[in-house]
Amino acid sequence: QLQLVESGGGLVRPGGSLRLSCAASGFTLDYYAIGWFRQAPGKEREGVSCRSSGDGITYYADSVKGRFTMSRDNAKNTVYLQMNSLKPEDAAVYYCAAAAICTFEPKRYKYWGQGTQVTVSS
């Protein structure tokens, strides 16, 4: 069974950092493009970052560029999202997802995790 499980969310003060993890089971992450998305209450799900399979080229939304970094540990079949300089507007449920190609369109992703809550508040 193909499964993605996110972890690492929590409460952090503005300016703080969190590292989210996305662990895959039932398939090899390296064979898929992996995207991180987020969804705040009342808002549409938006793409945050995406890492292509193979060459590992990573793309970031303008809103997180320079603050968020996506990485992959093939040995652990896990993808990470390091989030620094967090802002209140970064608060959302964060999801990882797997697709054939790297895109910020949620509908193109076939496999999704259950999400992890990130709260940024003083």
pLDDT at 42 over 90: yes
Q: How many CB atoms lie within 10 A of CB 87?
A: 13
- Give residue-wise pLDDT tens across range 7-23: 999 999 999 999 999 99
Mean pLDDT throughout 90-103? 97
Q: How confident is the model at residue 2 (pLDDT cuts 50, 70, 90)?
A: confident
pLDDT at 54: 79
pLDDT at 55: 83
pLDDT at 33 over 90: yes
Tell me the C-alpha distance between 42 and 65, whole Å. Answer: 23
The tokens describing 94, both together, are 């964060």
Q: How confident is the model at residue 82 (pLDDT cuts 50, 70, 90)?
A: very high
pLDDT at 30 over 90: no
Q: Is 61 exposed, middle or buried (0-12, 13-18, 19+ CB in 10 A)?
A: middle
C-alpha dist (Å) from residue 109 to 68, 86, 87, 97, 112: 21, 26, 27, 6, 7
Mean pLDDT throughout 106-119? 96
pLDDT at 84 over 90: yes
pLDDT at 1: 80
**Of residues 104, 101, 77, 94, the one with CA closest to residue 2:** 77
The per-residue pLDDT of the chain, averaged, comes to 96
